[in-house]
A = this chain, B = another copy of it.
Amino acid sequence: MSSAAKTLDLLSHFSDLRPEIGLSQLCRLAGRDKATTYRHVQALEEAGFVEQNPVTKRYRLGPALLQLAQIRERTVPRKAGVEAPLHMLAEATGETAHVAVLSGTTLYALHQLESVKHSTRVLIDVNTFPLHATASGLCALAFGPNELVDLATKTMTRFTPETITTPDALKGEIAITRQRGFAQSSGGYEHDVHSMSAPIFDQTDLFAGTVSVACVATRVTPELTRIIYEHLVLASRGITHNWGGSVPDIIEAAWAGSLTGTEALEPMT
């Protein structure tokens, strides 16, 4: 692992739940020496990626990130055009909806929205989604570049007793996902969470990301599943359109097969 990679890795320990981190705590989180961590965090501070709270001496993310994010969003608009469909999805299902984007071989969380309908809901608190253990990941494996499958079968970490950990089981699940047009994962990453996911496409008409609903598992019924499927279709079509792409016919056909007898069949006009 290069020194640069270690330095960048420090940033991944910041989150909404832990927005400020002291030097010692950061050492523990990163599992590295204090002197090393200090130099790394200094490099980050120098570049404006973190700044030190003058009163607590703890570190927090810095202003340089805002500029870079702005450039990124202007270069590849992704957040724009996600909000509205996601809002509708969360409202219609009463569950947590989220979108992930594929970059290289990694699936990054882009945006999430929690419905206020129930007092219990799923909180998404990850930066990247494991390919073999989440609905989003399965979706990427089923509809994304083929190389992902080879990669995923190599590192199948077990998160829960339900996690798929054999390549054969994974390939079976991918086949089902392709046929159904939706990915589904029940407690494979976190217990009591049932997720369903549909692919999103961009201006190259290639797989670009996923839109998903993460349910509290005890609430899942055939009826809710049907509602989620229908609205996943709408959200995927909407976001795909906003990203300048179009949903491949083969996907629309798969959705149609999974949703016979509902209005969600008709393509958007």
A contact set with B: CB distance below 8 Å: 2-9, 11-12, 14-16, 19-20, 39-40, 43-49, 51-52, 54-55, 60-76, 78-79, 101, 103-104, 106, 108-110, 127-128, 204, 206
Tell me which of B7, B51, B67 contacts A109 (CB under 8 A): B67
Are B79 and A66 touching (Cβ within 8 A)? yes
Are A108 and B63 touching (Cβ within 8 A)? yes
Are B104 and A51 touching (Cβ within 8 A)? yes
Tell me which of B60, B76, B206 contacts A60 (CB under 8 A): B76
Are B55 and A78 touching (Cβ within 8 A)? no
Main SS of chain A's interface residues?
mixed
A14-B68 contact given A5-B47, A103-B51, CB 8 Å threshold:
yes
Are A19 and B103 touching (Cβ within 8 A)? no
For the complex of A and B, the 9 pairs showing the least CB-CB separation, nearest first, are A69-B69, A4-B7, A61-B72, A19-B75, A8-B47, A4-B43, A51-B103, A63-B108, A65-B69
Are A65 and B60 touching (Cβ within 8 A)? no
Are A60 and B47 touching (Cβ within 8 A)? no
Are B204 and A63 touching (Cβ within 8 A)? no
**Nearest Cβ distance between residue A60 and chain B, in whole angstroms?**
5
A47-B101 contact given A71-B16, A71-B61, CB 8 Å threshold:
no
Please, how many angstroms separate the alpha-carbon atoms of A78 and B69 in the complex? 14
Please tell me how many copies of the chain the complex holds. 2
Are A61 and B68 touching (Cβ within 8 A)? yes
Are A63 and B78 touching (Cβ within 8 A)? yes
Residues in B whose Cβ lies below 8 Å from that of A108: 48, 62-64, 67
Given A8-B43, A55-B204, A65-B65, 7 additional A-B pairs, CB 8 A? A2-B43, A8-B44, A8-B47, A9-B47, A48-B127, A64-B108, A64-B127
**Nearest Cβ distance between residue A208 and chain B, in whole angstroms?**
11
Q: Which of the listed residues A5, A44, A55 has the most CB atoms from chain B within 10 Å of its own CB?
A: A5
Residues in B whose Cβ lies below 8 Å from that of A78: 63, 66
Are B127 and A16 touching (Cβ within 8 A)? no
Are A104 and B52 touching (Cβ within 8 A)? yes
Please, how many angstroms separate the alpha-carbon atoms of A15 and B45 in the complex? 20
**Nearest Cβ distance between residue A45 and chain B, in whole angstroms?**
6
- Chain B residue nearest to A53 (CB atoms) is B76
Residues in B whose Cβ lies below 8 Å from that of A15: 71
Residues in B whose Cβ lies below 8 Å from that of A74: 16, 19
Residues in B whose Cβ lies below 8 Å from that of A3: 2-4
- Chain B residue nearest to A2 (CB atoms) is B43
- Chain B residue nearest to A63 (CB atoms) is B108
